[in-house]
Amino acid sequence: MSVYTPVTTGELDAWLARYSVGGLVELAPIASGIENTNYFVTTGGGRYVLTLYERLPASELPFYLNLMAHLARAGTAVPAPVHDRTGALFSLLNGKPAGMVERVDGAPVLVPGVDDCAAVGAALGRLHVASRGYRARLTNRRGPGWWRQAARAVKPFLAEEQNALLAAELKHQTGFGKGTMPRGAVHGDLFCDNVLFSGSNVAGIIDFSFAATDFLAYDLAIAVNDWCIVRDVADTGALEPARVGAFIGAYEQQRPLTGEERDHWPSLLRAAALRFWLSRLYDLHLPRPGELVHAHDPSHFERVLRDRVAQPARLPTDAGTGASPRVPL
């Protein structure tokens, strides 16, 4: 569990006075997450999730919170942020910008099957269709500029072959972001633990703290790299074709991919693996202070990246065409 900014019941009860949600009944820290401080909050008026944003500047919060509000109004499976009595979606709590969203009843599926992948693929497709109507724009703070900065920072901690892999992939991804593929507001972190299921249905897509304006197909690649990998002891990072087919097929029922997106798919998967390998390396070797900090193992995404480099993945509908991907982006 990561709790960087402790909150007492007294402090929260005073903060809640600005909301029309009733008095505090229960406050419980959430046992997950590495970016922000999160609590379950129960009041006389409902059940919510409180987030204290540890890294995000207050100037960027309107993008994330208004995006969630936009998506919730569009009918996607996204919890709606809660306005205070002035209409604001966040304010300072113990020196950190903080806000609440409605709590979703559901649980993550950490070992997904084909049907789970199809459900999430469809949900992400609907989210992308809705997000293209969101006019605010925000550069991805974990984009190519950050990749290069993070690679320099973690270089002293890595073996020679790891640094060679980083350098080669950064070279391969030169020009990422300059293409003409469809863009919009993306989730940026749609891993299994950020989707809550109720039975076989997606009940809620949560944690938009890495949302940004980026390629929609890159967001899809991030999700596929987590939802569709072979989960076994070997942990090679390889993709499982049936789940990839279910995920992509359901996604395209909502938003068909363009030819350019299909051509770039192998490089998008590689970019997604690079981004998360670097972030996990950074969190492991250059952690920030916190009461209890959980850092994910970076070696998993190193294996994912090596697999994507060695075995360029084709989209299911491209099977047998023999078409070569355009690389780099």
Let me know: does 20 contact 85? Beta carbons within 8 Å: yes
Q: Do the bridges between strand 37-43 and strand 24-29 make them parallel or antiparallel, or are there none, so unpaired? A: antiparallel
What pLDDT was estimated at residue 290? 56
Residue 88 near residue 61, CB atoms below 8 Å: no
85 assigned to some structural domain? yes
Pairing relationship of beta strands 183-186 and 24-29 according to DSSP bridges: unpaired
Say yes or no: 57 and 194 in one domain: no
Residues 79, 132, single domain; the answer is no
Together in a domain, 84 and 212: no
Q: How many residues does the chain have?
A: 329
- Is residue 326 one of the residues assigned to a domain? no
**Tens digit of pLDDT per residue, the chain (329 long)?**
466 889 999 999 999 999 999 999 999 998 776 678 999 999 999 999 999 998 888 899 999 999 999 999 999 999 999 999 999 999 999 999 999 999 999 999 999 999 999 999 999 999 999 999 999 999 999 999 999 999 999 999 999 999 999 999 999 999 998 889 999 999 999 999 999 999 999 999 999 989 999 999 999 999 999 999 999 888 999 999 999 999 999 999 999 999 999 999 999 999 999 999 999 999 999 987 654 456 789 999 999 999 999 999 888 754 333 333 333 44
Structure tokens given for 78: 């996204």
d(CA 258, CA 318): 12
- The pLDDT value recorded for residue 180 is 92
| CATH number, residue 161 | 3.90.1200.10
Any bridge partners for residue 93, and if so which?
96
Dihedral, 250, 254, 259, 260 alpha carbons, nearest 10: -100
Domain range for 58: 9-102
Same structural domain, 124 and 51: no
Which among 72, 102, 132 is the end of a domain? Answer: 102
Tell me the whole-structure pTM to 2 decimals: 0.92
Question: Are residues 186 and 216 in contact, defined by beta-carbon separation less than 8 angstroms?
Answer: yes
Peptide bond into 298 cis (omega under 30): no
Question: Residue 28 in 3-state DSSP?
Answer: strand
- Cα–Cα dist 265/123, whole Å: 20
Quick one: 297 and 189 in the same domain?
yes
Residue 16: CATH number of its domain: 3.30.200.20
What total number of domains does the chain contain? 2
Q: Are residues 31 and 163 in the same domain?
A: no
CA pair distance 70, 75, nearest whole angstrom: 9
In a domain, 208, yes or no: yes
Residues 140, 87 within the same domain = no
Choose one of 48, 75, 102: the last residue of a domain: 102
Last residue of a domain, one of 45, 75, 102: 102
Same domain, 246 and 295: yes
Three-state secondary structure along 129-153? HHHCCCCCCCECCCCHHHHHHHHHH
